[in-house]
Amino acid sequence: MDIRNIAIIAHVDHGKTTLVDKILHATKVFRENQDTGELIMDNNDLERERGITIFSKNAAVEYKGVKINVIDTPGHADFGGEVERVLKMADGVCLLVDAFEGPMPQTRFVLQKALALGLKPIVIINKVDKPNCRPDEVHDAVFELFFNLDATEEQLDFPTFYGSGKNGWFNDSLTQSEDITPLLDGIIKHVPQPKVSEGPLQMQITSLDYSSFLGRIAIGKVARGTVKENQPIALMQDGGVIKKQRVRELYVFEGMGKKKVSEVVAGDLCAVVGLEGFNIGDTIADADNPEALEVISVDEPTMNMQFSINNSPFFGRDGKFVTSRHLRDRLMKETEKNLALRVYDTDSADSFMVYGRGILHLGVLIETMRREGYELTIGQPQVITKEIDGKKHEPFETLVVDVPQEYASKVIDLVTRRKGEMLVMETKGEMQHLEFEIPSRGLLGLRTNMLTNTAGEAVMNHRFSEYKPWKGPIPGRNNGVLIAKDNGTTTGYSLDKLQDRGYFFVDPGEEVYRGQVIGENNKPGDIVVNSNEGKKLTNHRASGSDAATNIAPKREMTLEECMEYIQQDECIEVTPVNIRMRKVILDENERVKQQKRMSAEAV
């Protein structure tokens, strides 16, 4: 059968998943009257809540007798590890670019990987129905990006399609077509058939799936030969390990699901059931003539965090999995499918160092574990430094900010204070487009500050660029925090009297414990406050003294905001029900002793 394997790549929010929806509808995967909703491929709860793709997924459609395997990829830089491995399954890529924003940092990152693998690109300029869109300028910018990334002559001669995914049309010119069939015709015409070399079976595992009925499922593209049901195979792993195993069942992709088959020929994507102990990057090879494919290389992590068991006074109230064994098993299981993640043991049996691509990458892991019933404590995120030529180096990122012109000076001030350097400043319609180079440390807590200072108008994106010499200290949070003095329940009376000290992360009637961070101080320095004191009642009433309390609502903090907010001596308690910030040392006297010890050591 005629086959085309395409990956859809783009910056976050440029419309990849919407395009996949339209392809599924155009090729009649669903019944006419079937209610499918939007963003069909984003079927994970977290993806639907956040409106972003986190895990790459496969679908297969048939158009004019050709089977098109479509791979939907994440657009966020923190999930680049997902994209790097699934591109191995594709023979061509559809690069989706917003007709107003043009190529963005993640566009460059993913495109670089695709071009290096020699994939044939098709450029799709989406959202041409938006006001202020500039498709011709964006096309020139895309060509320049291809040129800068050392694309070959053949790759530079890319076909371009224009359209609007939301309105369901794409055409090879700016004139509106009836539907997206011109794009599907273009995919069949321009994307080559899978390259198939002669020889015995070779298939690299590039993705994992799990079924409670079938167990772990290996997914990849058959690069050579044929894989059959009940066939004995050699599983080739890193370090020259070869395991003899047998394929139990085989599935190919069909529509949104999978179809059981007896054999799969080279060039098609398939799911293999029955293998044990495999990892992403392993090769399924012929049992008699095993030959391994090159192992998938994934960029290094840039950030680490300490994951520990929950040791707060409220330990074990909300979660099912609370021991260090539970935590370790879950983290190790995650490393099997999350290639950009690393987990290391520490001196303490209760703590683990987890390395990832960024705040969002680690935040999604913590949020997933929390929903599964885990309780844990996480420390402040730290960037990973390296020693190069005897000098300390740290990761730097390219930061891109689009902001209304009246706020541009505030953005520049915020970024330069955090050791960022401006590289580009240009006007795009009514927006100012700014590009900076900034240490990864400088990004911690920057998003919240920037949204506050730009009335929520700033659009900020960043991606890792390279390691550069250490830039020196970066100012962190200026204000101190309000810390609960005792265990108990907060009262409206106490919070009302403390309002002039700062604002709170708790409401009246919430249970708190000694050492918990319950608010932000208006000034530098931490204050321990009594938030649990009730009003002493007498049998006398005085006019005016019983005025109703008027307390400002608490400030809700998301997990990522808490991760950016905490300092070195603080941590976050995460349970299925609550997210609380607290001091690492809960007792105030112990904290004072610790500070004195550290000051003495520093001297």
Residues 142-148: contacts with CB within 8 Å, 24+ apart? Answer: 142/95, 142/97, 142/102, 142/103, 145/103, 145/107, 145/108, 145/111, 146/111, 146/115, 146/121
Q: 391 labelled as ligand-binding?
A: no
The gap between the terminal CA atoms of the chain, to the nearest Å, is 74
Q: What is the 3-state secondary structure (H, E, C) of 1-21?
A: CCEEEEEEEECCCCCHHHHHH
Residue whose C-alpha is closest to residue 244's, from 220, 218, 214, 275: 275
Residue 450 · residue 425 · CB < 8 Å: no
Q: Return d(Cα 227, Cα 391) in angstroms, integer.
A: 51
Rounded Cα distance, 131 and 140, in Å: 19
- Is 16 one of the annotated binding-site residues? yes
CA angle, 292 then 266 then 293, to 5°? 15
C-alpha span between 465 and 353 (Å, rounded): 24
Is residue 132 a known part of a binding site?
no
Q: Which of 26, 82, 96 is nearest to 54 (CA)?
A: 82
Type of residue found at 576: P
Any known ligand binding at 127? yes
The region that residue 93 occupies, defined by phi over 0 for left and psi between -120 and 50 for alpha, beta otherwise, is: beta
Spatial neighbors of 164 by CB under 8 A, at least 6 apart, are 126, 127, 128, 129, 170
120 is in an annotated binding site: no
In one letter, which amino acid is 164?
S
- On whether 507 is known to bind a ligand per the annotation, the reply is no
The encoded tokens of residue 242 equal 């070869």
> Is residue 6 a contact partner of residue 154, using CB atoms and an 8 Å limit?
no
* 389/399 Cα distance (integer angstroms): 27
Query: Which residue has 């320095």 as its token pair?
Result: 525
- CA torsion angle 580 586 591 597 (round to 10): -100
Closest CA to 580 of 525, 528, 516, 493: 516
**Crossing angle, helix 408-417 and helix 446-453, to 10 degrees?**
150
Annotated binding site: 13-18, 126-129
Residues belonging to the binding site for GTP are 13-18, 126-129
